[in-house]
Amino acid sequence: MASVELRNIAKSFGSVEAVRDVSLSIGDGELVVFLGPSGCGKSTLLRMVAGLEEITSGDLLIGGQRMNEVAAADRGIAMVFQSYALYPHMTVAENMGFALKMLGKPRAETERKVAEAAAILQIEELLGRKPKELSGGQRQRVAIGRAIVREPEVFLFDEPLSNLDAGLRAQMRVEIARLHERLGTTMIYVTHDQVEAMTLADRIVILNKGRIEQQGSPLDLYEKPVNRFVGGFLGQPQMNFIPAQLVSSGGATELAVGVPARRVLQFANVVAAAGGTIVELGVRPDSISIVDPMLETALPAHVVVVEHLGGSSLLYVQVDGLEELVTVELRGKTAFARHETVGLRFDPQRVHLFDGGGKQIES
């Protein structure tokens, strides 16, 4: 097992700055997920840890040793790719044992380790098959098995579940979490799927345009996003962003929304520059409740679409004066129907305010 440390890591491809000044310490045995939209630099970062991509500047340490110039094979890592990268002419057992064979390990030891890994992944009955005789999910298990057999200090996963259908992805996600619990090995996992990140990670590192936007435990990031990007990236259905105005009112500050404006929230603390400051209210669909639209602090809205999802229902509602529909998530079934007028009430403990630059305003 080993810690991984990135110190001011940067990577340029010609004039493209794919990774900019990333510093990060990953603890021994931690499962860290790099999460971000396409092109944010997460794969490049992982490939630099793996030794598949040269580091333009900065230092990479694994287990306290500087690794910048160390060959991929000597870094004590094993990587699992989205494409599986299995040898088509070899059986599953041969694929899994190949790295140990290349290292000149005794055949009995290789066979024992392959059998152990196959048992963990429940693929014992597939050991004699060739990759083309396997389903996508089975191939991915073999790719993971091949990594386990090498007993690496650090596992690297590059979007390993992207080629699987939704059901299988959910199942494999749980298996990877169990694998981490069982082996306790340091793991770095790259994905653009926020559900995967939320369910797997000890810590999520959110990347955007080659930089870290925020890092922390899944719940911390979900509940306390430092900016609009993080708030919008984590959470399904997505956080609503509603244009609003901060208005001074006596010793407090009120938040006005819609046309005509309704003062829907009151804050004791946000008084700074509140004289009509335009902000954005960030509120998750499950932090809005439906109340009587005649109530003074309710925001009236018209139901446009209702989605019944079984365990929950989504209302898409139109607020006068707002361009975008607001999404409301309600538990269980709902009796609300299209064209109905409802009142929105925002949970004051679970709202976020973002300034013009998208930064969270403390409230």
Chain residues that interact with ligand ATP, rule: CB under 6 A: 13, 16, 18, 36, 38-44, 192
**Closest separation in Å from C-beta 172 to ligand ATP:** 18
Residue 57 or 249 with smaller CB distance to ligand ATP: 57
Q: Tell me how far the alpha carbon of residue 73 is from its chain's centroid.
A: 28
How many CA atoms lie within 13 Å of 40's alpha carbon, on the beta-carbon side? 19
Return the number of the residue (44 or 327) whose C-beta is nearest ligand ATP. Answer: 44
Half-sphere exposure (Cβ direction) of 195: Cα atoms closer than 13 Å = 12
Classify 280 as helix, strand or coil: strand
**How many Å apart are CA 113 and CA 173, to the nearest integer?**
23
Of 335, 319, 220, residue with least CA distance to 327: 319
Which CB, 40 or 353, lies closer to ligand ATP? 40
- Residue 34 Cβ vs ligand ATP, minimum distance, rounded to whole Å: 8
Nearer to ligand ATP, 208 or 313 (CB): 208
Residue 24: strand pairing partners: 6
Q: What is the dihedral of CA 232, 15, 4, 59, to 10 degrees?
A: -140
Please say which residue, 65 or 236, places its beta carbon nearer to ligand ATP.
Answer: 236
* Residues β-bridged to residue 81: 158
Contact present, 32 and 189 (Cβ < 8 Å) = yes
Question: Whole-number minimum distance, CB 83 to ligand ATP, in Å?
Answer: 12
Cα 186 from Cα 92, distance rounded (Å)? 25
Helix axes 107-121, 166-183, angle to 10 degrees: 130
Tell the smallest beta-carbon distance from residue 13 to ligand ATP (Å): 3
Return the H-helix or E-strand segment holding 199: helix 194-200
Q: Residue 317 Cβ, how far from ligand ATP at the closest point, in Å?
A: 33
Select 29 or 39, whichever has its Cβ closest to ligand ATP.
Answer: 39
In angstroms, what is the minimal distance from the CB of 41 to ligand ATP? 4
User: Given the complex with ligand ATP, which of 6 and 96 has the nearer CB atom?
Assistant: 6
Alpha-carbon span 328 to 314, nearest angstrom: 6
Shortest distance in whole angstroms from residue 214 CB to ligand ATP: 16
